[in-house]
Amino acid sequence: MRKGPTAMPELTSRRGMLFGTAAVGAGVLLSGCTSNESDDEPASNDQPAADDKPGKPVTIGFAGPQADHGWLNAINDNAKSRAKKYKDVTLEITEGSNDTAQQIGQIETLINKKVDVLVVLPADGKALTQVGLQAMRAGIPVVNLDRIFNSPQAYRCWIGGDNYGMGLNAGHYIGEKLKNKKNARVIELAGLDNLELTKQRTQGFDAALKNYPNIKKVARQAAEFTVESGQAKMSQLLQAQSKFDALWNHDDDQGVGALRAIDQAGRDDFLMVGGAGALSAFQAIKQDDGVLKATVLYPPTMAASAIDLARALGQGKGVGGLAEFEIPSSLTLYSAVVDKDNVDQYMSTGFK
């Protein structure tokens, strides 16, 4: 690169010095502002484990995607805090990655370390099937968390949420609330449309609404699971629909933006149901002073349960409370509806 003739002397001038001092000062001030410490405890799980009695020591390897949003972050927290509860469990947790090649490498490292059981939440279930198979062949049982592998041979047990069920339960909740209303109008704020799970949620929602002939879904827009997109899409939906009775929003994170848009538009003439189970949503439901009346869960506590299952696998036990000697091969979790009546019970599972 060609060098200009007069740059450096300018920078050492008094103006430059002044600017430099201001920049350093601002930097010092700013660096104090990155702290996010607050007094409340992170999401933890208080429900008792199936079998708390210490047994054979088990080393569990845990590999997940990069925790770049609240729900995934809660997944990591749940796995860690659950593992800490057991004296006989050692958790080997990898740095989360969204890159398939990198995640494969991390899981191979865990296989080489000869962990007793693997818990894998793949960034992409289909793409990581091979490494799941590899672990199973090496004699390490795999608990596949949420995003499912292509082949049942790649895991010993799958545990995950129910996207179709989420839509179904949201639809039924809204249906029951509006069942005595003639010509009720419902709108849907969906999540990222590129994802299959968004389609499943919408299918479930539509299927449930079919049971209520008085209800018509009049609009659907897809946001991107972010606050920003939630605000943008919701404000347009509100402008498009001057009157409707209920709204289902797929995701509580984008719901923060949706609620902001509803507030900005000054609307309160409908009921809103959320999705996933964020702490802010639980708090709003408990306060009961806005449109948000309920949310359907996609529980991040599944990571804690995955640790339970992995421990049971390592110790050769079944699940307490079930008759079988082994853990199940597949567990689909229920998408419970949390409203004012039962919100206290779920408060500690809410994620930020």
Partner 1 sequence: MTQPVSPPRDDTPKVSPVEGPSQWRTLAARADVRTLSLLGVLAALILIGGITKPDEFLDTRNLQLVLTQASVIGVVTVGMTFVITSGGIDLSVGAIVALASVWATTVATQEYGFAGILFTAVIVGVGCGLVNGLLIAYGGMVPFIATLAMFASARGLALQITDGKTQIVTVEGVLDLGGRDAYILGIPPLVMVFALVTVIGWLLLNRTTFGRRSVAVGGNAEAARLAGIDVRRQRLYLYLLSGLCCGVAAFLLIVLSGSGQNTNGNLYELDAIAAAIIGGTLLSGGRGTITGSVLGVLIFTTITNIFALNNLQSDVQQIAKGAIIVAAVLVQRRTASTT
| Smallest separation, CB 209 to partner 1 (Å) | 16
Asked if residue 24 binds partner 1 (CB under 8 A), the reply is: no
Spatial distance between the Cα atoms of 134 and 169, rounded to a whole number of angstroms:
37
By beta-carbon proximity to partner 1, the closer residue of 98 and 153 is 98
Distance CA 123, CA 327 (A): 25
Query: Is residue 269 close enough to count as binding partner 1 by CB under 8 A?
Result: no
- Kind of pairing between the strands at 184-190 and 246-249: parallel
Q: Binding string to partner 1 for residues 323 to 352, with x set by CB under 8 A, is what?
A: ----------------------------xx
Which strands form 292-297's sheet, in the order they lie side by side? 215-222, 184-190, 246-249, 271-276, 292-297, 337-339
DSSP 97-156: -S-HHHHHHHHHHHHHTT-SEEEE--SSTTTTHHHHHHHHHTT--EEEESS--S-GGG-S
CB atoms within 10 A of CB 342: 12
Q: Does 240 bind partner 1 (CB under 8 A)?
A: yes
242 binds partner 1 (CB under 8 A): yes
Burial class of residue 27 in the structure, from the number of CB atoms within 10 Å of its CB (0-12 exposed, 13-18 middle, 19+ buried): exposed
Q: Under the criterion CB under 8 A, does residue 244 sit at the interface with partner 1?
A: no
Question: What are the residues facing 292 on neighbouring strands?
Answer: 272
**By CB under 8 A, residue 78 contacts partner 1:** no
Task: Write each residue from 118 to 157 as x if it is in contact with partner 1 (CB under 8 A), else as -, in one continuous string.
Answer: ----------------------------------------
Name the residue nearer to partner 1 (CB basis): 266 or 321.
266
Candidates 64, 125, 161, 257: give the one binding partner 1 (CB under 8 A). 257
Q: For partner 1, which residue of 176, 193, 341, 344 counts as binding (CB under 8 A)? A: 193
The CA distances from residue 46 to 51, 262, 281, 322, in Å, are: 14, 34, 20, 21
Closest CB to partner 1 among 255 and 314?
255
Structure tokens at 319: 């699940």
CB of 177 to partner 1, least distance (A): 23
- Residues at the interface with partner 1 (CB under 8 A): 1-7, 10, 23, 26-27, 30, 32-38, 66-70, 72-73, 193, 218-222, 224-233, 235-237, 239-240, 242, 253, 256-257, 260, 263-266, 278, 280, 351-352
